[in-house]
Amino acid sequence: MGEFNRMTVVAAAEVISDSYSHSEIDVLEVQWEIEDRGGGNSKSARVVSLSKAAIQGGHTVYTESGQVSLERAVIEKALANWSTAKDATSWQKLKAGLRFDGFEIIEPAEVDDMWGKRVPRAPATLVRMLPSYAPGLDMREAGNEVIELLKKHSLTTAEGHLSRAMSAFQRGEWSGANGALRNFLESYFNEIADLLKCDPTLDSRQKRDFLGAGLTPPFLLADYNEWHPGGQKSPFVQALMSRMHPHGGHPGLSEEEDATFRLQINLVTARLFLRRLDRGPY
């Protein structure tokens, strides 16, 4: 698995296609030694060939920042043109994809040049949102494992909600992603309860109570404050449910940043509970 997901790489190739002429992209392909895998008569064809070359990988290439993988070279070249691409759909896709890969784009402040035109003070930079050495924090790995476990246990409703959430997130549709994540969180607990022989006519709250008190051993652990009778002690699961159902936006908070947080915490949480289901015994 590469450092970046396919959507991220394709979005970067689209930014490059939007920002450079055919001849300039020809020069890049020669510099990166992929002229035999590049080319194309249209910009969309250039996007396809450049994306395929980056995803296939291979040798490292020389860039202004040193020797890097081809896919990182493509990402860095796209970042170099952030000031002209920042309003494009491809730029929003690139930012969303990089967030899912665990990176954040730092866009530098713009200043007025001598003609009064707004220009960037410096190129955009790429930083990790979380330490690369910390185990279990890779969002792509978490997402892949969650999907595998959902499929394994036939939690099809939850799988559908997660798929819609991730697709909306990658398109930069933050409200849509948040709504689908709320449904995902609720539905996988409901489906786990049904799988463990809960009365299917119970509502979602009653099914979570079943997971906390209706099984031996319990699925939701009161000792870990995951669940508590009557909802006392602000148990984790109920607190997360509440966090996923806020009333309106809040001034000063980034909708994009909040959507990223919700995706991350939901993937890590779902992985914990789906691993528990997979281990049993139930």
pLDDT digits (tens, 9 = 90+) for 203-240: 999 999 999 999 999 999 998 999 888 766 678 998 99
* Spatial separation of the C-alpha atoms in residues 246 and 229, rounded to whole Å: 23
**Cα of 153 vs its chain's centroid, Å:** 23
pLDDT tens across 110-120, in order? 656 556 565 55
Q: Can you state the percent helix, strand and coil of the chain, rounding each to 5?
A: 60, 10, 35
Distance between the two ends of the chain, CA-based, in angstroms?
34
Gap between the Cα atoms of 138 and 142, Å rounded: 6
Asked if residue 257 has pLDDT above 60, the reply is yes
For residue 106, which phi and psi values (nearest 5 degrees)?
-100, 110
C-alpha to C-alpha distances, 7 to 52, 68, 257, nearest whole angstrom: 12, 20, 19
Q: How far apart are CA 20 and CA 151, in angstroms?
A: 42
CA dist 194 and 134 (Å) reads 35
pLDDT, tens digit (0-9, with 9 covering 90-100), for 61-110:
888 878 889 999 999 999 887 766 666 788 888 888 888 888 877 776 66
State the Cα–Cα distance between residues 204 and 270, nearest whole angstrom. 16
pLDDT digits (tens, 9 = 90+) for 132-155: 555 555 667 778 889 999 999 999
Strands 110-112 and 118-120: antiparallel
Q: Which pLDDT band holds residue 196 (cuts at 50, 70, 90)?
A: very high
Report how far residue 193's alpha carbon sits from residue 204's, in angstroms, rounded to the nearest whole number: 9
Euclidean distance between CA atoms 32 and 38, whole angstroms: 10
**Cα–Cα distance for residue pair 12/53, rounded to 1 Å:** 13
Whether 282 shows a pLDDT value over 90: the answer reads: no
